Amino acid sequence: MDDNVLEKSRRFYQLETTSYNFSVNISSGLANALALRLLGFNALEISILTTTRIFSYALSQVPALINPSFIKKKRKTLWNVGGIVNRIGLSLAIFGVFLAPPYNFYYLLGLTTSTQIAGGIAGVSAGDLLGDLVDINEAPVFWTRINKLIYIATILSFLVGSLTFIIVKQLLIAYLIVYSIALGAAVFSSIMLVMIEDPRRNTANYTNSLNKHFYTVNTILDKNILKYLGVQLLFNYSVNIPAPFWDYLVLNVLNGNEVIIMIKNMAGLISKFVSINKWKNRLMNHGSRPTLSIGMVSTSFVPIAYIASVNPWMTILAETYSGYAWSSLDLTSAIYTFYLTSDEVRPVFISISSLSSNLIASIGAFTGSILVSMTGNIYAPFLVSSIMRVFSGGVAYKIAPELNSNRNKSR
């Protein structure tokens, strides 16, 4: 692809990902609140929607495992169609207020299924294409910029949502306004998405190479892929042990409120924005493996900070530090996802990584629930998580592959 066209595609992607994250942080972030506050769904219906969301996303990863050559060949089309259905579909949830029960439930159930399947397929296709759109030599700088844009978009979505609900007193009108804003951003994002061009329009060689080489023992059991997946699964399990209890601790133990939760989330995002350049420099100077390891260990202080909090306002400080620590993993995650494997294997690797990460996250959260029920102590999952994060960081330093400047190799 011509360098000018390539640069234009990167700019369109920056606009696309910023507006996409702004839109979906509003539409998906308010989905449960919409269902509870306006549609009057009960706990069972919310549980069914949540389960459907998880199952549909898992289902969306199957096509890349069954027929990766098709994903590779049609990746831009799949990103376009799946991405548009996902972002616009999420913002159409508001139309459930115009339907009577139980049709509003059936509407959201169908919308959840279609948007999650479409979004999952689009995510795999996008990940495969983006690995070719940005060379690994430019990756630290480029993905630092992208993460900053995502942080800004998320902060703005929080502000827009919060101010709307503060200013507009009628709940239905407030929801109509924020979902209309989300829809407008989704349409703009969709236009930017279509403008992005595939840097490798001719995928015939990739398809043939994939059919010839992928399904071999050496490729599937590549030691670097297995090592990284093992490290990520261990860390994801560790992180998600206290997952059900972060907001519970703020609201029920420390007597906080929704305002505290909003402020601390924004503090974490601002901290990420400010600190990610430091991690970019560390990544460029010291490599991916030490940066990944130190980032994992750094997050171990977050659960301890929550344990040490004696009032809800202290959790804002804890979340500020959390943003600093997690910005390292936002960056290294992109680097490993797009550049650890060869071009041919990338779609399958992304699917396996997504599937296994979601599964292990559920197991981690379930473990945390068991710890609380066995000990009667809400802080137990936080302590165990902190210890295991340190252990995960040590394992990462020992076995995680170090990426060099050739995306198709790692050492």
For 120-146, write each residue's pLDDT tens digit: 999 999 999 999 999 999 999 999 999
The C-alpha atoms of residue 359 and residue 237 are separated, in whole angstroms, by 9
pLDDT over 90 percentage in the chain? 67
Q: Is the pLDDT of residue 218 over 60?
A: no
CB of 274 closer than 8 Å to CB of 367? no
CB 164 within 8 A of CB 79: no
Judged against a pLDDT cut of 90, whether residue 334 lies above it is answered with yes
46-93 residue pLDDT tens: 878 887 888 899 899 999 888 888 898 999 999 999 999 999 999 999
Could you read off the pLDDT of 307-317 as tens digits, one per residue? 999 999 999 99
Conformational region of residue 255, where left means phi above 0, alpha means psi within -120 to 50, and beta covers everything else: left
Cβ neighbours for 300, distance < 8 A, ≥ 6 positions apart: 386, 387, 389, 390, 393
User: Would you say 227 and 401 are in contact if contact means Cβ atoms under 8 Å apart?
Assistant: yes
Q: Is the pLDDT of residue 4 over 60?
A: yes
pLDDT of residue 93: 97
Residue in the block written with tokens 């305002």? 259
Cα 120 to the chain's mean position, in Å?
Answer: 11
Burial code (b: 16+ CB inside 10 Å, e: under 16) for 188-215 equals bbbebbeebbbbbeebeebbebbeeebe
d(CA 91, CA 271): 28
- pLDDT score of 173: 96
Question: Contact 224/349 with Cβ under 8 angstroms?
Answer: no
pLDDT at position 248: 85
Please check whether residue 400 is in contact with residue 231, taking contact to mean a CB–CB distance below 8 angstroms.
Answer: yes
How many other C-beta atoms are found inside a 10 Å radius of the C-beta of residue 383? Answer: 17
| 58-67, 219-228, 393-402: range with highest mean pLDDT | 393-402
Query: For residue 244, what pLDDT is reported?
Result: 81
Q: Find out whether 370 and 384 touch, Cβ atoms under 8 Å.
A: no
How many residues does this entry show for the chain?
Answer: 411
Burial 127-139 (b: 16+ CB within 10 A, else e): bbbbbbbbebeeb
Q: Cα separations (Å) of 269 from 93, 264, 360, 410? A: 26, 9, 25, 31
Which of left, alpha, beta for 321 (phi over 0: left; psi -120 to 50: alpha)?
alpha
Under 8 Å CB-to-CB from 350, ≥6 apart: which residues?
64, 123, 124, 127, 128, 337
pLDDT for 277 equals 96
Distance separating alpha carbons of residues 26 and 178, to the nearest angstrom: 7
Instruction: State the pLDDT at residue 388.
Output: 98
Both tokens of residue 205? 């060689």
The pTM for the full model equals 0.88
Residue 155's alpha-carbon distances to 23, 76, 335, 376, in angstroms, are 12, 29, 24, 36
Q: How high is the pLDDT of residue 95?
A: 97
Selection from 123, 385, 357, 399 nearest residue 233 by Cα: 357
**Rounded distance between C-alpha atoms, residue 351 and residue 346, angstroms:** 9
Residue 410 pLDDT class (50, 70, 90 cuts): very low
Alpha carbon distances (Å) from 157 to 153, 246, 286:
6, 21, 35
- Go through the domains of the chain in sequence order and give each one's CATH number: 3-210 (1.20.1250.20), 214-399 (1.20.1250.20)
What is the rounded end-to-end Cα distance, in angstroms, of the chain?
Answer: 29
In contact, 197 and 312? CB cutoff 8 Å: no
* DSSP per residue, 397-411: HHHPPPB-S-TT-B-
Residue bearing the bigger pLDDT, 370 or 344: 370
Residues 144-169 have a mean pLDDT of 94
Can you give the pLDDT at residue 272? Answer: 97
Q: What angle do CA 285, 288, 294 make, to 5 degrees?
A: 90
